[in-house]
Structure 1
Amino acid sequence: MNQTTAKLMDGTAVAARLYEQTAIRAAELRETTGVEACLATVLVGDDPSSATYVRMKQNRCRKAGIASRSIVLPASTTTAELVQAIRELSDDPAVHGILVQHPVPAHIDERAAFEAIDPAKDVDGVTMHSFAAMAFGLPGFQSCTPGGIIRLLDEYDVNLAGQHAVVLGRSPILGKPVGMLLLERNATVTYCHSRTKGLPELVAQADVLVAAVGKPDFVQGEWLKPGAVVVDAGYHEGGRGDVDQEAAARVASLLTPVPGGVGPMTIALLLAQTVDAAVALSGPGVRHAAEDTRVQ
């Protein structure tokens, strides 16, 4: 990139520090209670990308001293069968966090699957209970990508109070919850979606932009407000995001790179919240990651 002005928000470095903290906390939990934090992943079907993501999460668990359990179900699994498998994990005291790898096959009711997760083990922040907690500013698990975005903004001293935040996208696991978390930080939030009119004009008003539209290079540099903080939550083939990175870097003050920005924070927060769940389910005595507003 030439003639760039934006400072890149290094999610890889921030995530590495969070992994270190999580490993320390997992070890403290084992030493003080004998409990090994455990994350269970549920994969339906044989989608190669989903299988790769699950392996990445299992590898990260191993490095952080967190046990992992893998449940792989055939693509023909019904909603009822998936719900039953998740309920069994919810009832298992040795499991502290449950992740259903999405997307699931089209014939499965994904929402029913998510709601089968015990809220106390919803470390991916996908249940209605977790969304309500985010919306009301109550204790609970954050959706991992939105929560990772907020931690990254904290790390780079972005004061959200009074800022106009524009969110592109309204998915239940990214767009909607990140808007709730921004609102909780006293930002003024505008949601944009596929039926929004005058999108470039709205983007131009954003002090903070979160792009989660699922379209490569969708956000153009000339749409951006000079000095805006730009969070690119997209990832596409060839390492492209939802934002034209080269053009945005000439306008924004802060920008998440793709890759290496939002992505690493997602898994890091998943593991931190798994330890939080293990602590909460095992008794007091070990600090929760949610008590820290930034990575130390």
Structure 2
Amino acid sequence: MDTLSGAARIDGKAFATGLVQRIASEVVRIREESGATPGLAVVLVGEDPASAIYVNAKRRETLAAGMESFAFHLPVSVTQAELMALLDDLNSDSRVNGILVQLPLPAHLDARAVINAIAPDKDVDGFHVVNAGRLFTGQPSLVPCTPLGCLMLLKNRLGDLTGMKAVVIGKSNIVGKPMAQLLLAENCTVTVAHIQTRNIADLCRTAEILVVAAGSPHLVRGDWVKPGAVVIDVGINRVERDGRSRIVGDVAFEECGHAAAITPVPGGVGPMTIACLLENTLTAWRWQNLPRSQARDTQ
């Protein structure tokens, strides 16, 4: 990690590269011992350019880890029944251990119904209501990839998180809520803030761990950050400046030199999301192919 005026820059890209290498080694071991190869199916509906980029990146990293990749690109006109039928087939396919439907979906499709049509033990996005319930009640679950990656970066930096004061900005089902649950499971004292939170800046100043997933460029200013805090910036925002487009986070990065450590945007949390998708696929393979007690113990 290099430094930003005293704050360590948390290199999510390097961590993710190491995680994928470890996953690839495990895939080799599985193939040698069982002849099987973990497989991930990704379903893309329509022609959204950003979604296509994400799907291609996921396929590339899946293959790089030595896993099977099954890609399904459906027309924007696909019906709910047709999409559900495909998911039913993938649920039944033993070659497919993980299933991901790229979001957002076209408006005529019911995203919640689609997510809950995926078999919970193949739900590598961790969005199924069963996995959300498992996480909430402290049971082994497939966890949404972005908060899982955030937790890995925090534990790598801080070790034991017990007793630490954490503030999570954002209450989405994708990041904010599962992030709070993961931190609670690590025995942090957790506060979730959102757009209606009063005196949010003062609240942030109490945090030893600050995770920001608001989708608002540079929402968190430097004077919101407690000296010595660890800041995880989940935001990815495209802004125009001086006629040029650039990607920035939810935190004013250059103002946070007094933090102990901070993730940059890009290069922080983003690379961890795909790496954790592969980690979830490996976990799903274990759940489907090992005795349940043994599979749970490997998490």
TM, length-normalised to structure 1: 0.93
Richer in strand (by share):
2
Using the alignment, how far apart are the partners of 1:46 and 1:290 within structure 2? Answer: 40
Decide whether the 8 Å contact of 2:155 with 2:161 is kept in 1. Answer: no
Decide whether the 8 Å contact of 1:33 with 1:282 is kept in 2: no
State the one-letter code of the partner of 2:281.
Answer: T
**What is the aligned partner in structure 2 of residue 251 from structure 1?**
258
The verdict on how the C-alpha distance between 1:272 and 1:150 changes in structure 2, with shifts beyond 3 A counting, is same
Are the counterparts in 2 of residues 273 and 289 from structure 1 also a CA contact under 8 Å? no
- The residue aligned with 2:87 is 86
CA separation in 1, counterparts of 2:9 and 2:96? 37
1:266 is matched with which residue? 273
1:278 to 279, 282, 285: 285
The question of whether the paired residues in 1 share the 8 Å contact of 2:12 and 2:272 is answered with yes
Closer/same/farther in 2, CA of residues 48 and 199 from structure 1, 3 Å limit: same
- 5 Å-filtered alignment, 1:115-130, equals 115-130=116-131
Q: Which SS does the other structure have where 1:173 is aligned?
A: coil
Alpha-carbon distance change, 274 to 147 in structure 1, aligned in 2, over 3 angstroms: same
Instruction: Call closer, same or farther: CA 1:17–1:288 in 2, change over 3 Å.
Output: farther
**1:2 CA displacement:** 9.5
Q: Give aligned-pair identity as a percent.
A: 43
| Cα distance in structure 1, aligned partners of 2:231 and 2:61 | 27
Contact in 2 for aligned 1:35/1:282 (Cα 8 Å): no
The 1:261–1:290 alpha-carbon spacing in structure 2 relative to 1, beyond 3 Å, is farther
SS in 1 for 2:237: coil
Cα-to-partner distance string for 1:187-235 (whole Å, 9 max, x where unaligned) = 1111111111111111111111110011111111111111111000011
Equivalent residue, structure 1, for 2:114 = 113
Counterparts of 2:278 and 2:296 in 1: how far apart (Å)?
A: 10
Superposed displacement of residue 12, structure 1: 1.0
Counterpart amino acid of residue 130 in structure 2: H
Cα 1:23–1:225 change in 2 (3 A) is: same
| Contact 1:38–1:68 (8 Å) recurs in 2 | yes
SS of structure 1 residue aligned to 2:47: coil
Q: In 2, Cα distance between the equivalents of 1:289 and 1:18?
A: 19
CA change 1:171–1:38 in 2 (3 A) is same
Structure 2 gap ranges (5+):
239-245
In the alignment, residue 73 of structure 1 is paired with which amino acid?
A: L
Q: Distance in 1 between matches of 2:43 and 2:50?
A: 14
Aligned to 2:250: 242
CA RMSD of aligned residues (A): 2.0
Letter in 1 for 2:109: I
Aligned-partner SS, 2:147: helix
Distance 2:22 2:46 in 1: 34
2-11 vs 107-116, which moves further: 2-11
The letter for the 2-side match of 1:57 is: K
Aligned residue in 2 for 1:95:
96
Unaligned regions of 5+ residues in structure 1, if any?
A: none
| CA distance in 2: counterparts of 1:255 and 1:290, whole angstroms | 32
